[in-house]
Structure 1
Amino acid sequence: MNNESKRLRIIVNCAIFAAITAILAQIEIPLPLVPISGQTLAVGLTATILGSRQGAIAMIGYAAIGAIGLPVFAGFSGGVQVLVGPTGGYIVGFVAAAYFTGFILEKTKFSIPWALVANTVGMIITLLFGTVQLKYVMDLTWTQAMAGGVYPFLIVGLIKAFLSSWIGIIVRERLIHAHLLKNNHKDAA
């Protein structure tokens, strides 16, 4: 495969996972300050399947298409106002979460146990970014920000971390087997 084909495959993979994130973002359970949505599940799947670099690129793409106004964020919202609003820190955190989740897997092994560790770290990163922005935008105390931006998401976050690990590793293995994803890492998927 030549370099042009490789680049095209990377662009297509990143675009597909940005679209999956946009779709899963519409599955949401409303809460007082921050809704529970399928976005973080998509971030975990993206990083588990694509790895650090492509996972982060996919999340940058997702944030960018939302920033220009396409309704891809939770609740069919979009625009820069979402990124600078109370919940925007979570979306910005998706980029770092995808990168570090994929990075951990690349440095260890693409396996369900390691993916669970990596996705748990990714969940913590997302919650950290989101809570910091929530606190400052809403002028909350740290206790209020944690109560509204972290505690309601811990159990559901661990469930999503498990699901994205389990589903992500299986999908990754199948994509590699079908020659739709290249395995560039020391451990076979």
Structure 2
Amino acid sequence: MTSKSKLRAISLCGIFAAVTAVLAQIEVPLPIVPISGQTLAVGLTATIIGSRYGAIAMTCYALLGGVGLPVFAGYKGGVQVLVGPTGGYIFGFIVTAFVTGFILEKTKHNITMAMVANTVGMIITLVFGAVQLKIVLDMTWNQALAAGVYPFIVVGLIKAYLASWLGINVRKRLIQANLIDPRPTNKVAA
């Protein structure tokens, strides 16, 4: 990898971490876990830049918030968010981005496969979130699912579709602009 392509890869990861921080501030408050644009951003990231860089971007996002920058939903930041009730979702974003991107890299970059990949990603995020809710708030599984999964399924499917449609179209434009490599090796164009 040339220094130019390394810089481009780092830039893409930073841009998508920033996109996640911005979309996180679009939120609908609910009692324990708000509906936010974070999961849409995770799906977009994975669909556009793939497994490796998607996971790196989400790791950067989690680290930025973990050191106190107000990048999480509701302009929150700090380790207390990561270890709090909603931190599981944020950790899930890293795995979600990797798995979503991986599915697309191993199949085909089209809207149908992106919808499958983003739906799997949504499930991963919700599982991580429910597990941490259960542990941190000492909930039963039924309570954790009722607070952290069920309210988000329909909205999650809508966001999965949006991430798929937008992600595939933006990815095509970035390939045309020679900013990302179209091959499924998850490389940035040289």
Task: Give the corresponding residue for 1:146.
Answer: 145
Q: What is the distance in 2 between the residues matched to 1:185 and 1:64? A: 27
Q: What is the distance in 1 between the residues matched to 2:21 and 2:71? A: 5
Which residue identity lines up with residue 148 of structure 1 in the other structure?
Answer: A
- Match runs of 1:18-167 below 5 Å: 18-167=17-166
Q: What is the distance in 2 between the residues matched to 1:28 and 1:178? A: 32
Q: How much is the aligned-residue C-alpha RMSD, in angstroms?
A: 0.9
Q: What is the distance in 2 between the residues matched to 1:103 and 1:23? A: 25
Shift of 1:184: 2.4
Which residue identity lines up with residue 65 of structure 1 in the other structure?
Answer: L
Helix, strand or coil at the partner of 2:16: helix
Shift of 1:182: 1.6
Shift of 1:181: 1.4
Count of residue correspondences: 185
1:16-59 Cα offsets, whole Å, 9 max, x none, are: 00000000000000001100000000000000000000000000
Helix, strand or coil at the partner of 1:51: helix
Which residue identity lines up with residue 66 of structure 1 in the other structure?
Answer: G
Which residue identity lines up with residue 20 of structure 1 in the other structure?
Answer: V
Displaced runs of 4 or more, over 4 A: none
Shift of 1:183: 1.5
Q: What is the distance in 1 between the residues matched to 2:182 and 2:114? A: 16
Helix, strand or coil at the partner of 2:30: coil
Q: What is the distance in 2 between the residues matched to 1:180 and 1:118? A: 23
Larger relative contact order (C-alpha < 8 A, sep ≥ 6)? 2
Structure 2 unaligned residues grouped into runs of 5+: 186-190
1:130-164 Cα offsets, whole Å, 9 max, x none, are: 00000110011100000000000000000000000
Task: Give the corresponding residue for 2:188.
Answer: none
Which residue identity lines up with residue 39 of structure 2 in the other structure?
Answer: T
1:6 paired with 2:10, answer no
Q: What is the distance in 2 between the residues matched to 1:3 and 1:83? A: 35
1:84-111 Cα offsets, whole Å, 9 max, x none, are: 0000000000000000000000000010
Q: Percent identity?
A: 69
Which residue identity lines up with residue 8 of structure 2 in the other structure?
Answer: R
Q: TM-score, normalised by structure 1?
A: 0.97
